Structures are given as C-alpha cells and as structure tokens.
Structure 1
Amino acid sequence: MNQPLPLSVQIFSLRNAGNLDRQLDIVSEAGFRHVELIGSLLDDACMTREKLEKRGLTASSSHVSIAMLRDRVDEVAAACTTIGCNQLFMPSVPPAERNSGADYWCALGNELGIFARRLADQGIALGYHNHHWELDIKENGATALELLFDSAQQSPLSWQVDVAWLVRGGADPLQWLSRYTGRVVSAHAKDIAPNSETAGEDGWTDVGHGVMDWPVLAAACRAAGARFLVAEHDNPSDGERFARNAFAYLHQLGA
C-alpha cells in the first residue's frame, strides 16, 4: 500500500495572518510539518532556517521569481542549501507578460531549462507552477504551457501543477496530469467554491470544502509523480481557519 503523500502549505496563503512568526505558528499548530516558502524568505536564509527549526518545520520547497533566477541564481542556491530546501518553483510570469505570444513562451521554457540544469549541478531542482493564463492558445495552435515544457526539452525542469487553476482555465486536470506524468513533482491542493462567481475569497474555498473531487485528483497527482501535496488558498479571509481545515481534510484523505 502506498504511503500518504507528505503535506505542505504555501506560506503565501497566510500573508494576512500576522508576521512571519505568527504565520509559522499557524502552520505548526494546524498540524503541518512542512511549509512551502516564498522568494523573500530566501533573502535571510539563516533567519528563516532558525524560525523553521524552532517549530520543527522543514521547507518542502520555495517559490522563486524569474527576476531572482536571472539576477542572483547562485545566491538563491546557497540560500536553499542553508535552509535545507532542494526544490524551487517559478510561480508566475510578470502580469504584463502573461498574454505574450508563442515566441515568448518558447524562450521562457528554454531559459528555465538552462536554469534547471545549472541548479541541478548544485543539488537544487527547479520547476514551473501554473495558473490559468498558460492555457491560452497561441498563434501556432499550442497552449503557452505546452510551448514552455516543449522548449525546456530534455532538461530536468519539473512541474508543480496547480490543479484548481487548470480547472479555472477550463482544462481537464486528469488529462494534463496523465500527459505530463514524470514531469509533475508537486501539486497545489486548493478548491473552488460553489457559485464561485459570487462567492467571497475570490471564488476559492478551503480544500475539501468546494466542488473539486480531491480524492480522485490527489490519487492522479500521486500517479503523475507528485511527491508533496501543498495546501493553498489564494485569498482566505481567515488564514487560521484555512490552515486548520486544509490539514484536517488532506490528513484524513490519506492522499
């Protein structure tokens, strides 16, 4: 029998819940033992490591901007080593670039592939995290996400699949997970509220409390290669509630 996937939580979900100490307390109190960081927490790696260790937490991964990769990739790698984090994900492209054409996404995929190889030499894995705009069809008939991964070619660039954003983009996540089995290494677990167009919290809700079939989806994420389920909520009105509900649901799910 497969062991349950380890659970983590994206610290960005708790950005309005107080300072970093309070955010990490919430993570720990909810039951999580892993947390996914954001790029700014790599700036003072020693402080971040100290705060994690104080609560018995480890960093499952961290998001990192394309600007940080371009400007100081070696510093980022060193910070990861200090913290004990060996997985990075580039979470999104700048807003002004999200509607770019095919050439842009091909160039980005190639660039991320180069960074993935460079970081792999230092023991750090690099992946990409999707939203819904990468599902836009470009002038050559392919989606931005397909162009990005195709252009990464045989590099070790991986995928943190945000399943709910695939659904928001009108895609069948099971088809995408099947297609990119082996490239998937992590999955964001969040949920879409019933009547999401009129619901608060930007139409999101705590994982397990919405319309998505997470027992099926979690199994598909595992089958595609996910090694972590990372709870996330893009705009919770109550961060403590979200963390408690997310851990309780995903823990009993036994994904």
Structure 2
Amino acid sequence: MKRFNEGQMRVSAQLYTVRQRGDLAAQLDLVASCGFTDVETVGFHGLSPNEVAACVTSSGFRVRSAHFDWEEFETCLEDIVALLGLLECPVAVMPWLTPKVRPDTAEGWRAVSGQLAEWADHLSSHGIRLAYHNHDFDLVGETGATPLDIVLEQENLSWQPDIGWLAVAGCDIARILDRFASRIVSAHIKDADPAAGIGDERWRDLGQGVIDWAPVLCALADSACTDLLVEHDETGNHRRTLETGRRFLMDQMAERCG
C-alpha cells in the first residue's frame, strides 16, 4: 500500500462548507473549533482585500488556496492579486462556470481555457498559480476530449480535482488522477452516493458514501497534491461534517505514514 511521507499533504477546510454559518469571522471560529489550522477561502465575503486579510490573520489561519468565480476574475483581478499577496497565499482557483456562460462546444471550451491561461500568466508574475476546479459537466465526453482535457491543454494551469464530482460523473477516479498527477495542486475531498439522486442528497460526510478511498488517496499521494480539503456542498450539520472529515483523513493518512 502506498505510504504518505510525513508532512506531504495537509488536511484543510473549505469555507464553502460553512457558508451558511454567519460572516467570515464566525465561519473561521467554527472551523477552528473543529481542529483545523488551514483553510481555503471563497471570494471576498463582501469585504475589501484588507478587511479579509485582517480577519483571517487575527484568526491565526493559514490560507492554502482561494476560490474566485469567473466574474470575479473578469472584474476584480487586481483585488485578487492584492488579497492573495496579503494572505501570502500561492494558489487561486476558478471553481465554477454558471450555465449561462458555460460552453457547449469544444471551441467554446478552448476560448475558456485561453482566457484562464491569460489570467494564469498574470497571476504567475505575482507568484500565484491558477488552478481549475471540476464539477461533472466538464467531464463529459471521450477520454482526451472532455472540457477538462481542453482546459488542461494549457500548460500553465493546474488542477484541483473534486473527488465527489468525479464519483458522480462515473469516472475511474484513480485513473484520471494518475493521468494528471503532475498538474494536481490540491483536492476537494467529499464523499457521495451517486445512486441517491441527482441533487444535494447525493453528498455524504467522509467515509459514509460509496467512494473507495484507498486507491484515491494513494493516487493523490503519488501526485503533486499538497492539500486535502474537507468539503460538503449541503451538510445538515456543519460541525459533524468538519469533525468527521478531519478525523477520517487524519486516520487514513496515519495508516499510510511511516
């Protein structure tokens, strides 16, 4: 069985999981009480870059990466640069294309990937990497011709796989992780039961879905991944989800350390 090197990957919390739990300070307080010291942020929380940075700094968290949607990259790119500089955060992630701007042709996806590559060049000049985060709509098609394949044709883009969405899309998860191993910067670790429906009822706390985690974590250990980010799209119990997720991953990693 593949073993993790000590300190190879950190277990962090994705703040999208707790977005319903008040303002940024309240979200960070909850995450801290669940044992996390590292987070991935989402957008600006209605604050200025300086205000976000001050809140995060006072909480004592380290921001491992930060999500910004397509519109934020289009309109607030310099604010993104400023915020990540203040946070000393080296990774920005583009996680979502709304249906109204989502391409339905290969040519459209090449235009998307080209724009992402331009933003990646700009961010790189500030010491920031840009990663693309998948859902299931970008995994449709033959191997080598999916939207994700088209995006990752751009060599300056990294990938943040969402394991739950890979499962929902019916992928051979370990195989696709192996294909893009050198491009993986971090991973959203969430569990699923794809047979449970087509909406949020599919999501599960870690270890309570149908994903076979041993080969997935082995594939991530063989990749360039540095962060395992606990996430749940629509949990009914935020504390339980965070504590269960952190404990599950720490236990899984402990079994493979040494």
Same fold, judged at TM 0.5 (above): yes
Give the structure 2 partner of residue 90 of structure 1.
94
- The Cα of 1:70 is off from its aligned counterpart by 1.9
Note the residue ranges of structure 2 that are not aligned, 5 or more in a row: none
Number of equivalenced pairs: 250
- In the aligned structure 1, how far is the partner of 2:26 from the partner of 2:180? 37
- In the aligned structure 2, how far is the partner of 1:221 from the partner of 1:213? 13
- In the aligned structure 2, how far is the partner of 1:253 from the partner of 1:180? 23
Letter in structure 2 aligned against 1:229: L
Give the structure 2 partner of residue 183 of structure 1.
183
1:143 aligns with 2:146: yes
Give the structure 1 partner of residue 33 of structure 2.
29
- In the aligned structure 1, how far is the partner of 2:126 from the partner of 2:103? 33
- In the aligned structure 2, how far is the partner of 1:49 from the partner of 1:3? 29
Give the structure 1 partner of residue 17 of structure 2.
13
**TM-score normalised per structure 2:** 0.89
Choose from 68, 71, 74 the match for 1:67.
Answer: 71
Letter in structure 2 aligned against 1:207: L
**TM-score normalised per structure 1:** 0.90
Letter in structure 1 aligned against 2:110: C
1:6, 1:227 within 8 Å by CA — same for their partners in 2?
Answer: yes
Give the structure 1 partner of residue 205 of structure 2.
206
Q: Render the CA deviation track for 1:28-62: whole Å, top value 9, x for unaligned.
A: 11111111101124842222222223332111111
Give the structure 1 partner of residue 133 of structure 2.
129
The percent of aligned pairs where both chains have the same amino acid is: 31
- The Cα of 1:207 is off from its aligned counterpart by 1.3
RMSD: 2.2
**Structure-2 change in CA distance of 1:224 and 1:42 (3 Å):** farther
- The Cα of 1:110 is off from its aligned counterpart by 1.4
Q: SS of the counterpart of 1:40?
A: coil
Letter in structure 2 aligned against 1:112: L
Q: Render the CA deviation track for 1:73-122: whole Å, top value 9, x for unaligned.
A: 12210111112211110001112233521111011111111211111110
Q: Which stretches of structure 1, 4 residues or longer, exceed 3 Å deviation after superposition?
A: none
**Structure-2 change in CA distance of 1:180 and 1:143 (3 Å):** same
- The Cα of 1:148 is off from its aligned counterpart by 1.6
1:34, 1:57 within 8 Å by CA — same for their partners in 2?
Answer: yes
1:247 aligns with 2:246: yes
1:17, 1:240 within 8 Å by CA — same for their partners in 2?
Answer: no
Q: Render the CA deviation track for 1:176-226: whole Å, top value 9, x for unaligned.
A: 11111211111100001485229x952101112221122321221121211
- In the aligned structure 1, how far is the partner of 2:117 from the partner of 2:23? 35
- In the aligned structure 1, how far is the partner of 2:140 from the partner of 2:200? 24
- The Cα of 1:230 is off from its aligned counterpart by 0.5
1:164, 1:190 within 8 Å by CA — same for their partners in 2?
Answer: yes
- In the aligned structure 1, how far is the partner of 2:119 from the partner of 2:59? 32
2:23, 2:45 within 8 Å by CA — same for their partners in 1?
Answer: no
Letter in structure 1 aligned against 2:237: D
1:61, 1:88 within 8 Å by CA — same for their partners in 2?
Answer: yes
1:134, 1:144 within 8 Å by CA — same for their partners in 2?
Answer: yes
2:191, 2:207 within 8 Å by CA — same for their partners in 1?
Answer: yes
Note the residue ranges of structure 1 that are not aligned, 5 or more in a row: none
Give the structure 2 partner of residue 159 of structure 1.
159
